[in-house]
Structure 1
Amino acid sequence: MNILLLKVTLMPSVIALVTLAIRKWGNKVGGLIGSMPWVAGPILLFFILEQGTAFGIHSIQGSMTGILALISFCLSYATFSRKLSWLPTILLSYGLYTATAVFFNYLQLNLLLSYAIVITTVLLALYFFPKPTGHLISTRRLPFDIPIRMIIATLFVLAITGLARMLGPDWSGILTPFPIMTTVLAIFSHTLQGSNATIATLRGLVMGLLGFTTFLFLQAFLLSQFSIALSFGIAFIVNVLINLVASRVW
């Protein structure tokens, strides 16, 4: 299998499909779809193919820390986007993302406790998440915006997986849920549709973290017992079911 070819074809396809989903079904549904493990799943797969199954399983603990940092990113970007343009908003959000990741990595919590904290944090974030005010601005589109999104996301994935051996499983895991797709969706929705669209998209993403977190959590147990395809397939179905329930509740 040519792993590099997989990296440069899979990620652009995912970004394009999620962008089209947002255009068809709206920001909230698009955010929920975007929260699925389209990025983290392939990154975990690349870790396993390049570094081994043990490395991939070990990285999942770090992924829980990364998800907490991702929640911090989404909440801060949604909040700051009301008053600031995309550049200061993204810089502040990345700053809070990094601080959250460093803090929880320092605590070195076990997997079960980390999972419980992430689920609780998602529920709290949904409760306190900013609400859109007024109407969404009609969608504007930049020329060739989908190819631009595809290139940015692919470069992120190549960088993270390329640094995996140097970073080790802990920080590789933390970077697995790095807001690659989230950054692309947030900046483009903020720039083209305004803060309300960004808030709706990011709230959908946070809602989807209930299933996304469970997907990664299950890999810590499934990968040691089953093949990669079966492990991912079982967890993906669970992820979809949780997202369906979450979309009904919130």
Structure 2
Amino acid sequence: MSLIAAKIVVTPTLMWAVSAAARRWGSLVGGLLSGLPLTSAPISIYLAVEQGERFAADAAVGSVEGLGAVTLCSLAYALCAPRLGAVASIGLAFAAFVLGGAVLHGLIRPGLWLATAIDLPMMALVVALCRPAAPAAQPIRRPPRWDMPARLTAATILVLLVSTLAPLLGPGLSGVLSPIPIISWPLIVFARVQDGVGASLDVVRGSAQGAFGVLAFYIGVHATLGAMDPVPAYALSIAASAACVLPWLFARRRPRAA
């Protein structure tokens, strides 16, 4: 399979899997899975193959900075959603993402470890603010027919756009664009419109929990890519990501004591 064919096939397949999981097991699981590096990991791998390992390792630093902007976006939504309407809260959340990206990457440029120190408490705060919603009593609504094709198309376009424009954008900006929440935000918007604020905050909470795995992935890529062959470097980074996310999933599934 050629690289362009892999981009077209792998990305929508991952998007479909997360969307199907959200419909089957609920918004929180969908958010948790959407927080995994399902688009950013393929982008990083494509950058390593097409632009070189050093480029991808440097892009990982920009991605950690971009992850701070994504988390700021989630934090803004978590604060606004219970108080404002859907359009206002989503609009303010995206404004927070743009502002966060401009400040963290354009002005401060904190680097890997300072950006990590900024990301971690914000991610924990988002998790704390988004309390799990009570199980909904109403029946689950069937999404519109355009919903799944739109998600698959958006995710694929992001991967193609970032990997194609990487030589012009450079590693920093390519990295910042990689963690754009192209998977989780359609889930958040759909949950808000169909099932209300609580369901959308479940997706945000799951995405913030998954972001710990995304952060581990980028740190692993920056630390190992170039120090070892790309295959074990990405395998270790993905394993570290899964190790950060699986405890959240098992904690959710464990029955509570009476």
TM exceeding 0.5: yes
Task: Give the Cα–Cα distance (whole angstroms) in 2 for the partners of residues 188 and 152 of structure 1.
Answer: 15
Alpha-carbon distance change, 227 to 138 in structure 1, aligned in 2, over 3 angstroms: farther
Alpha-carbon distance change, 97 to 42 in structure 1, aligned in 2, over 3 angstroms: same
Contact in 1 for aligned 2:133/2:199 (Cα 8 Å): no
Hey, what does 2:255 align to over in structure 1? none
**What percent of counterpart residues are identical?**
26
Task: Give the Cα–Cα distance (whole angstroms) in 2 for the partners of residues 116 and 81 of structure 1.
Answer: 26
Question: What secondary structure, in the 3-state scheme, does the structure 1 residue paired with 2:183 have?
Answer: helix
Hey, what does 2:52 align to over in structure 1? 52
How many residues end up aligned between the 2 structures? Answer: 248
Deviation at 1:144, TM superposition (A): 4.4
Q: How does 1:90-129 map to 2 (within 5 A)?
A: 90-105=90-105, 106-127=107-128, 129=129
Q: What CA deviation, in whole Å up to 9, does each residue of 1:16-75 have, x standing for no partner? A: 100111112211122111111111100111111221111111111111110100111122
Q: In the alignment, residue 113 of structure 2 is paired with which amino acid?
A: L
Task: Give the Cα–Cα distance (whole angstroms) in 1 for the partners of residues 197 and 139 of structure 2.
Answer: 12
Hey, what does 1:18 align to over in structure 2? 18
Question: What secondary structure, in the 3-state scheme, does the structure 2 residue paired with 1:139 have?
Answer: coil
Q: What CA deviation, in whole Å up to 9, does each residue of 1:60-99 have, x standing for no partner? A: 11111101001111222344344323x4443322211011
Task: Give the Cα–Cα distance (whole angstroms) in 2 for the partners of residues 186 and 177 of structure 1.
Answer: 16
Q: How does 1:133-144 map to 2 (within 5 A)?
A: 136=136, 138-140=139-141, 141-144=143-146
Contact in 1 for aligned 2:66/2:176 (Cα 8 Å): yes
Provide structure 2 residue ranges, at least 5 long, that are not aligned to the other structure.
253-258
Hey, what does 2:41 align to over in structure 1? 41
Task: Give the Cα–Cα distance (whole angstroms) in 2 for the partners of residues 245 and 124 of structure 1.
Answer: 18
The two structures have a TM-score, normalised by structure 1, of: 0.90
Task: Give the Cα–Cα distance (whole angstroms) in 2 for the partners of residues 134 and 120 of structure 1.
Answer: 26
Provide structure 1 residue ranges, at least 5 long, that are not aligned to the other structure.
none
Contact in 1 for aligned 2:130/2:204 (Cα 8 Å): no
Contact in 2 for aligned 1:152/1:184 (Cα 8 Å): no
Hey, what does 1:29 align to over in structure 2? 29
The answer to which of 71-80 and 27-36 deviates more is 71-80
The answer to which of 3-12 and 113-122 deviates more is 113-122
Contact in 1 for aligned 2:220/2:240 (Cα 8 Å): no
Q: What CA deviation, in whole Å up to 9, does each residue of 1:150-175 have, x standing for no partner? A: 11221222222222221111111111
Aligned alpha-carbon RMSD (Å): 2.0
Task: Give the Cα–Cα distance (whole angstroms) in 2 for the partners of residues 246 and 131 of structure 1.
Answer: 14
